[in-house]
Copies of this chain bind each other. A is one copy, B any other.
Amino acid sequence: MAAGDLQDGKRGAYQAAGVDLGAADEALGRIRAVVASTYTPGVVRGLGAFGGLFALPTGLREPTLVASTDGVGTKTVIATATGRLRQVGRDLVNHCVNDILVQGAEPLFFLDYVASSRLDPGVVAEVVTGVAEACREAGMALLGGETAEMPGVYVTGQLDVAGTVVGIVERAAVVDGGSVAEGDVLLAFESGGLQTNGFSLARHLVLASEDRLNAPLPGDPAGRTVGAALMAEHRSFLPAVRPLLAAGLVKGMAHITGGGLPGNLPRSLPAHLGAAVRRGSWPVPAIFEHLVALGDIGVDDAYAAFNMGVGFVLVVSPTDVDAVRELVAASPAGDWARLHEIGEVVAGSGVRLE
Contacts and interface: CB of A to CB of B under 8 A. Distances in A.
Given A74-B151, A146-B162, A68 B52 contact: yes
Interface residues of A, number: 76
A107 B272 CA distance: 37
Interface in A75-119: 76-77, 99-100, 102-103, 105, 108-109, 111-113, 115
A336 interface: no
Contacts of A146: 69-71, 162
A61 to B, nearest CB: 11
Copies of this chain present in the complex amount to 2
Contacts of A9: 258
A332 interface: no
B12 A258 contact: yes
B148 A102 contact: no
A144 B69 contact: yes
Given A55-B171, A177-B48, A111 B153 contact: no
A66 interface: yes
A158 B156 CA distance: 13
Contacts of A53: 64-66, 103, 174
Interface string A153-193: 11100111011101100010011110000000000000000
16 contacts: A1-B69, A5-B267, A13-B258, A47-B174, A48-B175, A49-B267, A52-B66, A52-B67, A52-B68, A53-B64, A53-B65, A56-B65, A67-B166, A69-B112, A113-B162, A154-B154
Interface of A: 1, 5, 9, 12-13, 16, 44, 46-56, 62-71, 73-74, 76-77, 99-100, 102-103, 105, 108-109, 111-113, 115, 143-146, 148-155, 158-160, 162-164, 166-167, 171, 174-177, 200, 203, 255, 258-259, 263, 267-268
**Closest 5 A/B residue pairs (Cβ):** A164-B164, A48-B176, A69-B111, A51-B66, A51-B100
